[in-house]
Amino acid sequence: MRTDVPSLPGNIVDYLFEHRRAADEERRTFLTTPSGDVSFRDLYARTCQVGGFLKRLGVKTGERVMLCVLDGPDFAAIFLGAMKIGAVSLPLNTFLKSKDYAYYIKDSGAKVVIADKGLAPMIGEIIRELNLDIKLFVAGGTVPGVDSLPDAIRELPQTLATEPRLPDDTAFWLYSSGSTGDPKGVVHTHAHIYWATELFGIGTLGITSDDVILCPPKMFFAYGLGFQNYMPLRTGARILAEGHPARPDTILAKLIEHEPTMLVAVPTIFVSLIELMRKMDREQVRRACHRLRVCVSGGEVLAPSVLNAWRELTGVDILDGVGTSEMTHMFMINRPGKVIPGSCGQLVEGYTARLVDDDWNDVPRGEIGNLFVIGPTAAREYWNKPEKTAATMRDGGVLTGDKFYQDANGNYMYVGRYDDMLRVGGIWVSPSEIESALAEHKAVLECAVIGTADENQLIKPKAFIVLRPGFTAEAELTECISSTMRAKLAHHKCPRWIEFVPELPKTATGKIQRFKLRQAQV
């Protein structure tokens, strides 16, 4: 733990706005959106109005306020406004189905739901069907029969006293993925935002008021929430926000227009940008990227071929790192000037880690183990799921579900999610290793590898490949790729089958959903 960082004195919202309310600071832009700029003063006023409105509704300390809102000033004001009055902010994915929202609403016990205009009718119907006493409001437009949040707060005071809170009091939840069961409400405190900001945002990346951040991953995810809300708010950085799903062409347009200093994305976004940049004049690419001091990748392993292609085009490294909803944000990352291709780098100062076997015994360096991380941002519990909590969280740390090994220099090498690992011929095989090798082939745009049973019910690797433009799915290409893999990988790691597909299933952040590929094979 850094000894020069004091503890959080109270409510996290006061800490985040502490330096932004000075006269010379509050006029500066926090969010640049397609609808215009939002200053720190604008955001603070809206945050206070939302907080005052929630108090008038009778929202009490510790009660949940659910927000299903697109990226922008409403998201930030609701997230911060609920915490300012001591309530619990609960951001949700805006790309879900009715059954998903029904589960979250019932599981969380939320008292208020604020939804985007595109979601409010669906959520209103869910509330009526469940016969719940929940107040629903719409943001981002109007919906007949649903009260408007902007109308409700318009005349409210633009200042509001902050509810005192202790660092260990609950501040917000993040729902984890439900790919292996029902989603789990991850409970986080005020101190978790504080330490994520101090140790990672400031201590590791050195974010300052000079930074302009382009972060396509959405605010409702842990990744986007940190980079687009609390870390830049504390440091005074400017965010290039986009409410709608970010397409590669729009991301590239923002890169060219605004020349950000930081680009935060997932590997599939970097792959798409590389494809577009290769069609541009090389000098135009360099101009768009000339202010980039940091590029960060997370969500899944970054193939060395992608890192090398990006570096060649832009002259900038990508820092691959790891974070989870349970750990609030990133706790492991490569460092500028010390990037190890294929590695997730080393731990952020203030965190420790163990690599353990299934019986919680430490594995020797160089051997694959389950990653257990200890740090001041580790989640307190899964809401109302004591068995899941006991299996995952202990001693101030979290068993992440990821498998790693450490190289001789202490760098952490990611080999896959526990559920993604393949047991081939009695030997553990990492899908990410196979995918990295496939990604080096000139015909491969994107790929994913899963395990599939052969005619003897033995598990073998199967590769799903999206081809680059100009290549055709044919037997000759299949053999070419297979031959290349045989030259690069041990026999048991080579894909037994290759299937060409038009696209891969992905999350809203662009993370490949291998479990959907597995489900389709059943």
Q: How far is CA 344 from the centre of its chain?
A: 15
- The answer to whether residue 198 is domain-embedded is no
- The answer to whether residue 196 is domain-embedded is no
- The answer to whether residue 340 is domain-embedded is yes
CATH number (domain holding residue 389):
3.40.50.12780
User: Which residue shows structure tokens 């993925």?
Assistant: 177
Question: What is the pLDDT at residue 179?
Answer: 47
The continuous run of DSSP H or E covering 516 comes out as helix 514-521
Question: What is the pLDDT at residue 1?
Answer: 53
Strands 238-240 and 262-265: unpaired
Q: Print the domain residue range for 85.
A: 12-23+36-189
Question: What is the pLDDT at residue 104?
Answer: 95
Query: Which amino acid is located at 439 in the chain?
Result: A
Structure tokens at 26: 């509050």
Question: What is the pLDDT at residue 475?
Answer: 93
Strands 459-467 and 444-453: antiparallel
Question: Are 377 and 429 part of one and the same domain?
Answer: no
Q: How confident is the model at residue 407 (pLDDT cuts 50, 70, 90)?
A: very high
Question: Are 17 and 141 part of one and the same domain?
Answer: yes
Question: Are 255 and 319 part of one and the same domain?
Answer: yes
Q: What is the DSSP letter of 181?
A: S
Judged by phi (left if over 0) then psi (alpha if -120 to 50, else beta), residue 416 lies in left
The continuous run of DSSP H or E covering 431 comes out as helix 431-439
Question: Are 371 and 454 part of one and the same domain?
Answer: no
- The answer to whether residue 28 is domain-embedded is no
Handedness of CA 510, 289, 32, 15 (dihedral sign): positive
Backbone angles phi, psi at 271, to 5 degrees: -60, -45
DSSP count for the chain of H helices, then E strands: 18, 27
User: Which residue shows structure tokens 């990037």?
Assistant: 339
CA–CA gap between residue 309 and residue 445 (Å, rounded): 12
Identify whether the C-beta of residue 217 lies closer than 8 Å to the C-beta of residue 224. yes
Residue 3 has pLDDT above 60, yes or no: no
Over residues 199-207, the mean pLDDT reads 98
- The answer to whether residue 201 is domain-embedded is no
CA–CA gap between residue 513 and residue 417 (Å, rounded): 12
Over residues 320-328, the mean pLDDT reads 95
Question: Are 173 and 47 part of one and the same domain?
Answer: yes
Q: How confident is the model at residue 177 (pLDDT cuts 50, 70, 90)?
A: low
Identify whether the C-beta of residue 228 lies closer than 8 Å to the C-beta of residue 20. no
Structure tokens at 46: 């809206």
Identify whether the C-beta of residue 180 lies closer than 8 Å to the C-beta of residue 155. no
Buried b (16+ CB within 10 A) or exposed e, 199-220: bbbbbbbebeeebbbbbbbbbb
Q: Shortest CA distance to 366 belongs to which of 333, 325, 407? A: 407
Question: Which residues does residue 212 pair with via DSSP β-bridges, in sequence order?
Answer: 238
On the CB side of 390, CA atoms within 13 Å amount to 4
Q: What is the DSSP letter of 509?
A: T
What is the rounded (10 degree) CA torsion for 248, 250, 255, 261? -80
Question: Are 61 and 172 part of one and the same domain?
Answer: yes
The string of pLDDT tens digits covering residues 154-170 is 999 999 999 999 999 99
Ranges of H-type helices in 236-303: 248-258, 267-277, 282-289
Question: Are 470 and 443 part of one and the same domain?
Answer: yes
Residue 522 has pLDDT above 70, yes or no: no
Residue 178 has pLDDT above 60, yes or no: no
Cβ-in-10-Å burial (0-12, 13-18, 19+) of 153 comes to buried
The string of pLDDT tens digits covering residues 71-100 is 999 999 999 999 999 999 999 999 888 988
| Mean pLDDT score across all residues of the chain | 93
Handedness of CA 414, 418, 419, 421 (dihedral sign): positive
Question: Are 336 and 454 part of one and the same domain?
Answer: no
Question: Which residues does residue 497 pair with via DSSP β-bridges, in sequence order?
Answer: 462
Detail the DSSP E strand segments found in 134-251: 135-139, 147-148, 170-175, 185-189, 212-214, 238-240
The string of pLDDT tens digits covering residues 458-507 is 789 999 999 999 999 999 999 999 999 999 898 889 999 999 999 999 87
Strands 238-240 and 29-33: parallel
CATH number (domain holding residue 447):
3.30.300.30
The string of pLDDT tens digits covering residues 327-339 is 999 999 999 999 9
CATH number (domain holding residue 161):
3.40.50.980
User: Which residue shows structure tokens 């690069």?
Assistant: 488
The string of pLDDT tens digits covering residues 54-68 is 999 999 999 999 999
Question: What is the pLDDT at residue 303?
Answer: 86
Question: Are 385 and 496 part of one and the same domain?
Answer: no
- Considering 368, 400, 417, which residue would you say is the last residue of a domain? 417
The string of pLDDT tens digits covering residues 28-39 is 999 999 999 999
- Considering 395, 417, 439, which residue would you say is the last residue of a domain? 417
Q: How far is CA 286 from the centre of its chain?
A: 27
Question: Are 251 and 180 part of one and the same domain?
Answer: no
Question: Are 325 and 470 part of one and the same domain?
Answer: no
- Considering 378, 399, 417, which residue would you say is the last residue of a domain? 417
Cβ-in-10-Å burial (0-12, 13-18, 19+) of 309 comes to buried
Structure tokens at 200: 């990672």
Q: How far is CA 463 from CA 104, 248, 307, 436, 508, in A?
A: 34, 24, 21, 12, 22
- The answer to whether residue 4 is domain-embedded is no
Backbone angles phi, psi at 502, to 5 degrees: -70, -30
Question: Are 294 and 266 part of one and the same domain?
Answer: yes
For 460-473, give the secondary structure using H, E and C: EEEEEEEECCCCCC
Residue 257 vs residue 518, higher pLDDT: 257
CA–CA gap between residue 374 and residue 519 (Å, rounded): 33
Over residues 17-38, the mean pLDDT reads 96
CA–CA gap between residue 279 and residue 469 (Å, rounded): 12
- The answer to whether residue 2 is domain-embedded is no
Question: Which residues does residue 414 pair with via DSSP β-bridges, in sequence order?
Answer: 404
Q: In total, how many domains does the chain have?
A: 3
- The answer to whether residue 325 is domain-embedded is yes
Question: What is the pLDDT at residue 105?
Answer: 96
Q: How far is CA 116 from CA 68, 105, 121, in A?
A: 6, 15, 9
